[in-house]
Amino acid sequence: MRFVFHFLRSALTHKINRDIAWTFMSFGILAVSGILMNIMIVLFRDAAALGVFNLSYAIYLIGSQVAVMGIHNSVMRYSAYHAEDPFERGQMLSSAMLLTLVFGVVIGGAVYLATPLYEMIFSSKASAQAISYTGFGLMLFPLNKVLIGYINGLRHMRALAILQATRYLTVLGAVAVVSISNLPFTVASLSFFAAELLTTISTLIYMEKAGLLKCLRVTKKWIKEHLVFGGKGALGSMFLDMNTRVDVLLIGIFLNDSAVGVYSFAAMLVDGLQHILSMLRVNFSPVLVAAMRDKDWVQAKKLLHYSKIYVLFGVIIFAVLVIPSFYVFTNYFAHDKSLIEGWKILAVLFGAYIIISGFTPFDNLLLASGHPTQQTIQNISITLVNVVLCLLLIPVFGIVGAATATAFSYIVGTVVMIFFSKRLLGWNMIANSIKE
């Protein structure tokens, strides 16, 4: 025990290790809250209600990327790049805040007003109403992405972790209240607005106290820069988030709310794994930006080396624990026994993650290295493969076909990233070597 304590204390003396620990806590809360949220819905409602909520969440994620227009990526990169220049950072931040606030209000309003369109597409009045309520959250989401991206770029990881965790817990609490109440379940989508409002207020208070809101001045230079840089990467971000939900959307179109619920209940456990891996990416990105800027590859290569070992091991352990637990829960505790079919979804998706596990924390590498166009190509390739295969496989194999399509798209995206990394950066990620 003394050895373990000494090891942990030694490890936490390094900032990146402390940052990872804080971010792990945040994304751990996200993963656990996502699981608990789905369990609450299953225990107190049914698979159809879960399907309604996940369809609205899918539209919310896609709408958020349209509204933010990649500007949060620009803010994250330039806040790290200009970390020692508060005047430049102030102009950069205020310009991004103005842009995303305007975009959020426009896109959020459009989503709210498009209710008849959703009912026509999904043939479900409940899903249409739930989706329309996400428009309120979308009005603030882009602004929050920029504020969080700014904090991330400056590596205030403890604050970032706490703010993110607060957002996740707010959504969980609101959904839990609606689940156990007699309220129409469609109002659960208003949980996104509650979470975004609290995040906006909390983040601005923290930034003011930390002295991060100085030298604020909107400039044409930074508005143009954000639009150009963000625009190059925006399509990629849209497609990346779309890929996480395109299977759900297409199941909703081809099948029904219950099928969406069964698939989503299994896929949310894979989402939990994705969020855990994302905490590594959040911490790696500022380090990679600095490595590209200074042409110092030692740290980047070290991160990849350990990622290939420890992330692979972690994913295997996660899969071995989750799949049997899922089977037991759906067989003995869930009221809706159709949920048990989700174990097949888990097996397919975890299989793909085991193959690409070591590379997943670097899936934002091209953007961090200043190549947003290539990042967009990578993300588009993932989504296009997923959409085409879903269209071919869902009508024949149902939800298992959707899982197969999504799993294959993950692998394709990793291959594209490895190709561009070698071609543009001279970094052979398979051999972990740099071309001199």
Enter the DSSP assignment of 427.
E
Q: What is the mean pLDDT of the chain?
A: 83
Buried/exposed code over 235-270 (b: 16+ C-beta within 10 A; e: otherwise)? bbbbbbbbbbbbbbbbbbbbbbbbbbbbbbbbbbbb
- pLDDT tier, 3 (very low <50, low <70, confident <90, very high otherwise): very low
**Within 10 A of 373 (CB to CB), how many other CB atoms are there?**
15
Q: pLDDT (tens digit, 9 = 90+) per residue, 234-291?
A: 666 666 666 667 888 899 888 888 888 889 888 888 877 777 777 677 667 667 777 7
Enter the DSSP assignment of 255.
S
CB 168, CB 30: distance < 8 Å = yes
- State mean pLDDT over 162-171: 88
Residue 256 CA, distance from chain mean position:
25
H-helix or E-strand spanning residue 18: helix 15-44
Decide which of 279 and 212 is more confident: 212
State the pTM of this model.
Answer: 0.70
**Within 10 A of 343 (CB to CB), how many other CB atoms are there?**
16
What secondary structure does DSSP assign to 159-198, as a single string? HHHHHHHHHHHHHHHHHHHHHHSSS-GGGGGGHHHHHHHH
Beta bridge partners of 433: 428
CA angle 178, 179, 183 (to 5 degrees): 50
Amino acid at 148: I
Q: What is the Cα–Cα distance from 316 to 306, expressed in whole angstroms?
A: 15
Decide which of 234 and 309 is more confident: 309
Residue 409 is encoded by which pair of tokens? Answer: 């798209």
- pLDDT tier, 175 (very low <50, low <70, confident <90, very high otherwise): very high
